[in-house]
Amino acid sequence: MELSMPPPQIYVEKTLAIIKPDIVDKEEEIQDIILRSGFTIVQRRKLHLSPEHCSNFYVEQYGKMFFPNLTAYMSSGPLVAMILARYNAISYWKELLGPSNSLVAKETHPDSLRAIYGTDELRNALHGSNDFAAAEREIRFMFPAVIVEPIPVGQAAKDYLNLYVMPTLLKGLTELCKQKPADPFFYQVIATTHLPPPSCTRCQSCNPMDCSPPSSSVHGLFQARILEWVTISFS
């Protein structure tokens, strides 16, 4: 009886964290807490937002009484934006932050970051994305070039490599040893992409070494696969 394993479920969330202007001098201390809490700091940047940029970032709060004070506070000096990643990053970061009102946090969650570093309801020290949609929007706002996608790590990454990468790579390398082609790179392109040579006019199962060089589409597929391997291996 042949057993089949389902595709590995690799879900590593990303969330946006902001160290607000009045506590940027505590950045190193806060980053240490973040790392010790199991997060990976994927990217980090220090920037000074204008009131207009702050209004765009907090657009969902527009119209509320505290909105002018909020944008003035967030544009009062440099802040530090970070992309944090780990399993259930959004909920874990929110839990680490505590209640949004630092006065409440000091009463109910005295060990939370907002209780420790915050002052009141407005100056609550740190920001965290509320949900996945907010995290995606906020990350793109602060880091426009970033692609929001899961990061495979630990055992999940090993499972992916063992199930999907190693068998294909082993097959290609085995055939490479058997055939000993004059152009090993070209042969590996064909073997690992499981595609017939695109320019072949004779059949679908001919020796790749007897056919024309691979088209740009095959090169693109091969490059994409190599990029996928590298991304998984070094995340």
The pLDDT tens digits for 17-26 are 999 999 999 9
> What proportion of the chain, given as a percentage, has pLDDT over 90?
54
Residue 37 has pLDDT above 80, yes or no: yes
118 and 20 Cβ atoms separated by less than 8 Å: no
Residue 73 has pLDDT above 60, yes or no: yes
The average pLDDT across 89-105 equals 97
Among candidate residues 48, 109, 127, 219, the one labeled active-site is: 127
44 Cβ contact list (under 8 Å, min separation 6): 80, 81, 82, 83
Cα-flanking dihedrals φ and ψ of residue 142, to 5°? -85, -30
Active site residue 127: yes
Its pTM stands at 0.61
